Structure 1
Amino acid sequence: MADRPRSKTAAKQKKKKASGRKWFYGLFFTAVIAIVCGIIGYLLIILNGERILAENGSKLDFGEASIIFDADGNEISRLYNAEENREVAEFSEIPEQLLNAIVATEDQRFYEHSGIDFFAIGRAVVKDVIARSAVEGGSTITQQLAKNVFLTADKTFFRKATEASIAVALEHQMSKNEILTMYLNRIFFGKNIYGVKHAASYYFDAELKDLELWQAATLAAMPKAPNRYNPIKNPEDSMNRRAVVLKLMYDQGYITAEEMEQAKAVVYEPPAHIEENTGDPYPAFVDFVVDEAIEKMNVTEEELRIGGYRIYTTLNQQAQKSIEKQFDDDDNFEKSEDERQVEAAMIIIDHRDGTIKGLTGGRDYVKKGLNRVNVTRQPGSSFKPIVAYGPALESGDYFPWTTLANDKKCFGDYCPYDRWGATPVSMTQAIKDSRNLAAVWMLNEIGLGKGKAFAEKLGFKITDNDSNLTLALGSNAATPFQMATAYSVFANGGKSVDPHSITKIEGKGNTTPYTYKAPEAKPLMSPQTAWYLTEMMQTVVQKGGSGARAAIDRPVAGKTGTTQFGVRGSGVRDAWFVGYTPEWTAAVWMGYDKTDENHVLDNGSVQSAALFSKVMRDAMKGVKKDAFKKPQDVQEEEQPPAAIENFNAVYLPEEAKVHLSWDPLPDGEVTYEVFRKEASEPDFIRFVDSLETSVDDMSAFPGMTYQYYVVAYDAKNDRKSDPSPTITVQIPETEIDIPEIPMEPDPHDPDGGEATDPGNGGELPPDEGETLPPELPDGTDPGGGEQPSTPTIPPDAGGDGGTGDGNAGNADGGAIDGGITQGTGG
């Protein structure tokens, strides 16, 4: 019987089995090859690490110090890994809680892995894929030690591979305790401090072995970001990070919940006498540069310090030295009742290109470590141009000469205090005197929304809590850096300014990993608005202005600001002056870090303005003088009538009147307003209005002295001329002759004496006695006219209305800029 052909189904099954075997063997051999490659790679890693350790022995490679240069290319600082700032600790000195804190925070599986934690690497990869960016690292403590001891900071694949190989080799040659000890002796703790032993001494004035749990957690929090989590420089961030460390320790069973909560609650207080740890000049500026470089380069501070970078900055040493000279002079600051001194901060920016010329974060920056240039305070009246007057001018409905009819004293439940009262005032005069009511009225008129939007364009964040009319008086939070940046926009014709301290960073091999590129300037307000603000704020530093003491030998525009402590102010909490020349902008803040009833300022922004003047005068020596540039299409204020000329006042005795005359004004239709004051009266009154160039005063009394002046008033443009010179006229005494009336002898009087009227009490009949002039009622003109009851004060009578140049505790046009019941003003 012939063979029957196999079915198609059987053929398919055989083919499927053959295909399955191929896949199986393929996968098997692929896995074998992968395992072999992995083993070979692992062996190569171990061998490479062993080779590096053998070649270097016990040598520690600290890397190459990065160097910082000023704007002229002069070296100002080296970011050393200074051995003199390292104290080596033995393992027996390190408290167990510190070891636990470091392991819980940096490498939870430290005691389980052999240098490389593949589980942590896998977890990091998954998180990075989910986040689509590098959000978590997988380096072990041993890898971090390998990098810090033997490698530079370049971020390359080969460096990471070498780091891993050294870590494995270290694990083969050293115990876990030895690795931990070396690591803790290598950690950078900010302030040029290396190693936990020196850090314990510096930050807590304590022996390493005596550290408490909260102190150990504070130190364990720092390796991730020594600058950000520095308890002296950033106490709040440090405390928050400490809480994270404690929570990790609790989760891993190292501490109890009660221990965790107690350690969280401790508030850090720096030791009374923190030693200075660096001899570098300009520490505040250097720290500012380091922060900026870390951000721009996306590296850690440790990597920046040992990376061998050359960092070129914008520092002007003349400006920086001027700042530090004045901040070192105790006479520039009020005296404190105790060791807590008045603090201050200042920053100078060239608004033409955004370069930061100099700054300081405090009077003793190295000791305190807190850069107050970036600390928020309430800006007081220095915020008025930003939130009230600036947006009003930008609307096109208001101008510097606009009269602010601020007749309201309360706005709903809010009643700002203003020593000037609710009298109408021009916007220029309001900003010169720093009048509170006018600023609040102005913000209320334009609307809070417009004010907030304008301020936010200038870089301020206005919270919901700040969204009320107190914002006009600077009730919000702002830093000196923000205030200087905002005023730089005024000075720069309304265009944005990008403040920066670094121009470029060079790496090894002539590479340039970072070069500053200025962003395109954006118009944040019209050039006209910026000019009006500049024009108005120049009056602030003139005689009678609230910031008169800020004047220097070149044009200056600026604004004072004060905030009160307590209701209606029992002292000043914050004192500001923010100002600019045509070339540079600067912000000055003064106050106590912690304000209470015993730690407040008395003199407000007077001293802030004076400090601005002292610093800028020396800082700007040699800087070519410029002038504020007036843009096109600026509306001009209608000019007032010309002043009265040839004013004359003379008494005419024969007509018993004072005759006043003056030359007519050649242009325009004006009314002449004549003002008069009797010598004993405090104020002038508007005596009469006239269209003619002469008037007579018929109400002058004998023996009295009068003063007169004349003002021309243009009703069409609502403008007045300057007052004429004041003339004094003395009215001579006039004797009145009273004739004797002969008396007839009384025929009934046997003695021939004077006649008497028994019905009149012995007095003469009324029509036979003396004839006397009628007695005038008070305020009544003999000619029948009623004198005005409200005196009007001429512009030159009663002072200039400001603080003047004195030093008697006056600030911002008043004791405290008029003040504000909510605690701000100025």
Structure 2
Amino acid sequence: MSRDDISRTNRNRNRGQSSSTSSNANPNPNPKGKSKKKKFLTKKRVLWTLFFTTALAIFCALGGYLFIMLNGEKLLDENIDKLTVNETTKIYDRNAKLIGELALEKSEPVEYDDIPKLLVNAFVATEDKRFFEHSGVDLWSIGRAAVKDIAARSMVEGGSTITQQLAKNIFLTRDKTFFRKATEVSIAVALENKFTKEEIITKYLNRINFGGTIYGIKAASIRYFGQSDLNKLKVWQMATLAAMPKGPSRYNPLRNPELSKERRGVVLQLMYEQGYITKEQMDEAKAVNYNYKPPESKQRYQAFIDYAVDEAEDKFGLTEDDLNIGGYKIYTTMDAHAQETVEKAFADSDNFEKSADDELVQGSMTIINQENGSIVALLGGRNYEKKGYSRVDGSRRSPGSSFKPLVAYAPALESGKFTNNSVLSNEKQCFGTYCPNNMHGYSKTISMTAALTKSENIPAVWLLNEIGVNTGFQFAKKLGIKLKDEDKNLSLALGGMSEGTNTLEMAQAYSAFANGGDLREAYSIKSITNSEGDTVYKANTKPERVMSENTAYQMTEMMQKVVEDGTGKKAKINRPVAGKTGTTQSGYDGISSNRDVWFVGYTPEWTAAVWMGYDKPSKKHLLKNSSPLAAAFWGKVMEEALEGVPAKSFPQPEGVSKPEPTATPEAAQPVSGLSAAYDASTMTVNLSWEPASAKGVEYRIYRRETSEAEFSPLLNTVSASVGDISAMPGLTYEYYVTAYYPALDAESEPSATVTVEVQDEQPTQEPEATIDPNLPTDGTGNGGNNGNGQNNGNPDGNNGNGSGNGNGGENGNPGNGNQGNGNQGNGSSGNGNPGGNGSSGGVPSESPEASPTPPPATIPPVDPAVTTGAGSGNTGTEGATDPGTDPSSGFVDEGNATQ
């Protein structure tokens, strides 16, 4: 045997031993005797896969590039001179009648040389800081946008360069799809190949939207600054315009000056960081407040059209640019007659308090159909401008007492622990460190209905404290009022809010009372169709039960009393009305004027809210009138707006019956002996009267300033005297008092009326005057000399004359004083009182001696509280004369002829 054979034999033996060993370890490793499969992935396979993948990617990239180049060039050539290819978007009222269309406002295009370099840099710094470096597409921006789109599962992030934004403005469709985005990129690349950077930025600035229907940088400059020469724009104005492309409506300086200023600050910061302006320029421009008012351009229904367009933009994902050139048809909920009525009322300056200067007293009103939540009419200010500042939803102010039903009374009823007949505390008290006051006096208890009718403060705060602040807070939020956590305090019962509310929210909240406890979100758009006639949106609001039907009914019952007998009397119209007034005081010590006045109310058909006040209250810009001013406006508008609308009655839940009145007003005895006097030292009109004999009587004081048409409730008290600290200097007031008898639930007829003039300055009293003992005693004398003075603090007022002859009697008989006449004093005339009886001054013919001359008589000083503006004759005592008062005192002497 050879060595090779021996080696082979040994190898085989070793294999056998190895196999035997393996068999012992695993006796059946492969019972079927099949061999193992080869590995699928090999180095060769991987290499071939990479090769084909790379080739396919290169092929796709080339194809995509060719598509982008060819398609972009084609679209660019087709649309280079076009901005819109559809009809303008049209707006219709609730009866499908055309009320307006979004016609574009453009000026002639400007050349690059006419655009200041800093203005160009403002847009570059804000929109595309690498504009002068990239080739139309910024890959970093696209990558960032893609990540956000994938995360949101929709096209939410633009990532567009200035060139892409220009491409979007000349593209055919407005849909947000990947294909649209790819085509936008293709057009951007084509633009970069065809035009220089200077030409691209010029076309961009001449084409982009600047809010509403304003297109182009020059049109925007004219609209927002009244400046057609772009080179005259200041740094802050340039930054304001550069802030707008991100949100043309949101950052519109006319509509949202505060948001515009905030965004402008961001632009200025970017300009500073990129070296275009200095820090001093940035700080100076940031501090400027926008106050430009464009020339008035009246168009009917403009406020409603603007609101509907905003709603389409905010709720349905349509941009202003989409709406302007998309050819949509927007069918709104607007009632043309109601909107015209509101606009006419806002245009009548007689409906508003006269302003202290050129700054107008402003207002806002929203009317809602509570059955379906549709907005019937709205207006956010006097002299409203297209896309201007709207106080309907843009301004937030304290609602005062009009918030009481939402946060105190309704949630208390809903708790089941109270009814509208429940007795509430009305004592002067503090709740921890919070000590509210009543304007109408105090009593131990008061019914819930009476407390709401008279708008007492203590019961509302006490009630909120009883049910818990959080209960009232959550109830108001459920009604759609936007509140913050810091609003969770007892002052919320009186409308104390960190940011306030607006007429849209208040009208929507009150509509739940009118609708039996169901709340519907307010809306202005019924449907939208696109340029092809397809309906892309249709309103479908569902009611939400926010309170029981019984709670809503009891609230309606109580707030009807507010209009019938309480603070809302001026809102009465020829239909059932329920509502609540609201007044916010000045907030300045020693100033009794008001910041805001409200009336929120509803009929069985519509709900409406009215606010009046200055945009920027100050010591100089406050309202002298209170909430009846807003109530009167509400009544005037709603009476006319509801013409032609079928009248209804408030719904009444089954099983609920109205209580029969227990007594008539005739059963209550009226107040007598009313008198009034102004105390200049305390700036208070003090009123007093004869107390009633019955116990528990409450007195109600009513007041009318001479410029007002009707009396309004002022104060309630249980005592027979009260002080009016809210009377304004320089005005004349009339007062009367009634007595309310709780046992009869009846209010008496009014007392006699008294008149008080509140002067601007405290009078200076003249020293006591005496009668000259040397006057002739022939029995003939003047009943009173001229009582010179001024009326209403006007030094030019005519004399209040109190002249009248006191004719001496014969044979010791007293003579008769003729009546003295009070001449007109600044428009307020008054008749002087009779001159009184003159004492005998003659010597009886039968008497041998003459009667002695009586000692000098003392004439009391002028009463500073006498402010009626009439001059009266003095008592004709011994023919003496009364010098009257000094004209500088500010009051007209009544001649002290009270008898």
Does TM, scored on the shorter chain, surpass 0.5? yes
2:714 — aligned with what?
Answer: 814
Report the alpha carbon displacement of residue 295 of structure 1 after superposing the two structures with TM. 2.1
Q: Aligned equivalents of 2:706 and 2:414: distance in 1?
A: 35
C-alpha distance 679-586 of structure 1, shift in aligned 2 (>3 A): closer
C-alpha distance 76-808 of structure 1, shift in aligned 2 (>3 A): closer
C-alpha distance 411-791 of structure 1, shift in aligned 2 (>3 A): farther
Q: Return the letter of the residue paired with 2:714.
A: G
Report the alpha carbon displacement of residue 128 of structure 1 after superposing the two structures with TM. 3.3
C-alpha distance 17-371 of structure 1, shift in aligned 2 (>3 A): closer
2:865 — aligned with what?
Answer: none
C-alpha distance 55-231 of structure 1, shift in aligned 2 (>3 A): closer
Q: Does 1:408 align with 2:415?
A: no
Q: Aligned equivalents of 1:285 and 1:150: distance in 2?
A: 30
1:209 — aligned with what?
Answer: 231
Q: Aligned equivalents of 1:530 and 1:679: distance in 2?
A: 40
The structure with higher relative contact order (CA 8 Å, sep 6+) is 1
2:504 — aligned with what?
Answer: 481
Contact 2:701/2:714 (8 A) holds in 1 = no
Q: Aligned equivalents of 1:681 and 1:68: distance in 2?
A: 60
C-alpha distance 437-128 of structure 1, shift in aligned 2 (>3 A): same
Q: Aligned equivalents of 2:449 and 2:112: distance in 1?
A: 70
Q: Return the letter of the residue paired with 1:558.
A: G
Q: Does 1:577 align with 2:596?
A: no
Specify which of 2, 6, 27 is matched with residue 50 of structure 2: 27
2:62 — aligned with what?
Answer: 39
Q: Return the letter of the residue paired with 1:291.
A: D
Specify which of 406, 412, 427 is matched with residue 392 of structure 1: 412
2:338 — aligned with what?
Answer: 319
Q: Aligned equivalents of 1:641 and 1:196: distance in 2?
A: 72
Report the alpha carbon displacement of residue 498 of structure 1 after superposing the two structures with TM. 1.6
Specify which of 107, 126, 133 is matched with residue 112 of structure 1: 133
Specify which of 554, 559, 579 is matched with residue 558 of structure 1: 579
Q: Does 1:337 align with 2:351?
A: no
Q: Aligned equivalents of 2:674 and 2:526: distance in 1?
A: 66
Q: Aligned equivalents of 1:643 and 1:191: distance in 2?
A: 59
Q: Return the letter of the residue paired with 1:430.
A: A
Q: Does 1:354 align with 2:373?
A: yes
1:148 — aligned with what?
Answer: 169
Specify which of 601, 610, 624 is matched with residue 632 of structure 2: 610
C-alpha distance 535-260 of structure 1, shift in aligned 2 (>3 A): same
Superposition map of 1:95-494 within 5 A: 95-130=116-151, 134-206=155-227, 207-271=229-293, 274-276=294-296, 280-366=299-385, 369-374=388-393, 375-423=395-443, 424-476=445-497, 477-494=500-517
Deviations 1:441-460 (A, max 9, x none): 22223222222122121122
Q: Does 1:509 align with 2:532?
A: yes
Contact 1:326/1:615 (8 A) holds in 2 = yes
Q: Aligned equivalents of 1:230 and 1:294: distance in 2?
A: 14
Q: Return the letter of the residue paired with 1:370.
A: Y
Specify which of 81, 102, 106 is matched with residue 104 of structure 2: 81
Q: Secondary structure at the match of 1:559?
A: strand
Q: Return the letter of the residue paired with 1:418.
A: N
C-alpha distance 361-388 of structure 1, shift in aligned 2 (>3 A): same
C-alpha distance 809-395 of structure 1, shift in aligned 2 (>3 A): farther
Segment of structure 1 superposing worse, 458-467 or 64-73: 458-467
Contact 1:576/1:587 (8 A) holds in 2 = yes
Q: Aligned equivalents of 1:151 and 1:54: distance in 2?
A: 12
Q: Secondary structure at the match of 1:373?
A: coil
Quote the RMSD (CA, aligned, Å): 3.4
Segment of structure 1 superposing worse, 564-573 or 306-315: 564-573
Segment of structure 1 superposing worse, 807-816 or 425-434: 807-816
Normalising by structure 1, report the TM-score. Answer: 0.75
Q: Aligned equivalents of 1:156 and 1:357: distance in 2?
A: 36
Contact 1:319/1:619 (8 A) holds in 2 = yes
Q: Aligned equivalents of 1:196 and 1:47: distance in 2?
A: 31
Report the alpha carbon displacement of residue 417 of structure 1 after superposing the two structures with TM. 2.4
Q: Secondary structure at the match of 1:372?
A: coil
Contact 1:201/1:208 (8 A) holds in 2 = no
Contact 1:564/1:820 (8 A) holds in 2 = no
Contact 2:302/2:386 (8 A) holds in 1 = no
Q: Aligned equivalents of 2:41 and 2:594: distance in 1?
A: 91
Q: Aligned equivalents of 1:644 and 1:358: distance in 2?
A: 39
C-alpha distance 77-790 of structure 1, shift in aligned 2 (>3 A): closer
Unaligned runs of 5+ in 1: 648-674, 683-788, 822-826
2:734 — aligned with what?
Answer: none
Superposition map of 1:735-746 within 5 A: none
Deviations 1:75-102 (A, max 9, x none): 11111223xx323211112122221221
Q: Aligned equivalents of 2:714 and 2:673: distance in 1?
A: 28
Contact 2:441/2:715 (8 A) holds in 1 = no
Identity %: 51
Q: Aligned equivalents of 1:347 and 1:814: distance in 2?
A: 27
Normalising by structure 2, report the TM-score. Answer: 0.70
Q: Aligned equivalents of 2:118 and 2:89: distance in 1?
A: 34
Report the alpha carbon displacement of residue 224 of structure 1 after superposing the two structures with TM. 1.6
Q: Aligned equivalents of 1:318 and 1:815: distance in 2?
A: 38
Q: Aligned equivalents of 1:194 and 1:636: distance in 2?
A: 61
2:613 — aligned with what?
Answer: 591
Q: Aligned equivalents of 2:278 and 2:674: distance in 1?
A: 81
Segment of structure 1 superposing worse, 416-425 or 215-224: 416-425
Deviations 1:732-782 (A, max 9, x none): xxxxxxxxxxxxxxxxxxxxxxxxxxxxxxxxxxxxxxxxxxxxxxxxxxx
Q: Aligned equivalents of 2:356 and 2:266: distance in 1?
A: 38
Q: Secondary structure at the match of 1:579?
A: strand
Report the alpha carbon displacement of residue 794 of structure 1 after superposing the two structures with TM. 7.8
Report the alpha carbon displacement of residue 677 of structure 1 after superposing the two structures with TM. 11
Q: Secondary structure at the match of 1:509?
A: coil
Q: Aligned equivalents of 1:526 and 1:215: distance in 2?
A: 53
Q: Return the letter of the residue paired with 1:213.
A: V
1:706 — aligned with what?
Answer: none
Report the alpha carbon displacement of residue 256 of structure 1 after superposing the two structures with TM. 4.0
C-alpha distance 516-640 of structure 1, shift in aligned 2 (>3 A): closer
Report the alpha carbon displacement of residue 421 of structure 1 after superposing the two structures with TM. 2.0
C-alpha distance 434-641 of structure 1, shift in aligned 2 (>3 A): closer
Q: Secondary structure at the match of 1:518?
A: coil
Unaligned runs of 5+ in 2: 16-34, 676-689, 718-722, 727-899
Report the alpha carbon displacement of residue 541 of structure 1 after superposing the two structures with TM. 1.4
Contact 1:575/1:605 (8 A) holds in 2 = yes
Superposition map of 1:718-729 within 5 A: none
Contact 1:67/1:79 (8 A) holds in 2 = yes
Q: Does 1:533 align with 2:555?
A: yes
Q: Secondary structure at the match of 2:622?
A: coil
Report the alpha carbon displacement of residue 597 of structure 1 after superposing the two structures with TM. 1.4
Q: Secondary structure at the match of 1:814?
A: strand
Q: Secondary structure at the match of 1:420?
A: coil
Report the alpha carbon displacement of residue 628 of structure 1 after superposing the two structures with TM. 0.4
Segment of structure 1 superposing worse, 143-152 or 124-133: 124-133
Report the alpha carbon displacement of residue 636 of structure 1 after superposing the two structures with TM. 6.4
C-alpha distance 794-807 of structure 1, shift in aligned 2 (>3 A): farther
Contact 1:606/1:807 (8 A) holds in 2 = no
Report the alpha carbon displacement of residue 44 of structure 1 after superposing the two structures with TM. 2.0
Q: Return the letter of the residue paired with 1:338.
A: D
Report the alpha carbon displacement of residue 494 of structure 1 after superposing the two structures with TM. 0.8
Contact 1:548/1:804 (8 A) holds in 2 = no
Contact 1:152/1:303 (8 A) holds in 2 = no
Contact 1:576/1:589 (8 A) holds in 2 = yes
